[in-house]
Structure 1
């Protein structure tokens, strides 16, 4: 699982954009307290599909 900062670096996006996409439901994520974690498989799928381009 990756943090929003790690996912943003992999996807070439800003961490704030990742958090917005999570809150809007476009990126599924798990919440631990105040922090989000995104599964590696989800990141790989989004990159392969070009879903955020």
Structure 2
């Protein structure tokens, strides 16, 4: 039970603190010419990693 509470609190804290920074960094890395392609590839990678584990 303690492990479940710790995992949930970690996910909640991460979601409200560092997770939004990912999209800011991705948005700044790719120039506007390649922005759509770059962001879609990053999103595909995130979804693949999320459902693989």
Same fold (TM over 0.5): no
Normalised to the residue count of structure 2, the TM-score between the two structures is: 0.32
Larger-gyration structure (1/2): 2
Structure richer in strand, relative to its length: 1
**Higher RCO (CA-CA < 8 Å; seq separation 6+):** 1
Structure richer in helix, relative to its length: 2
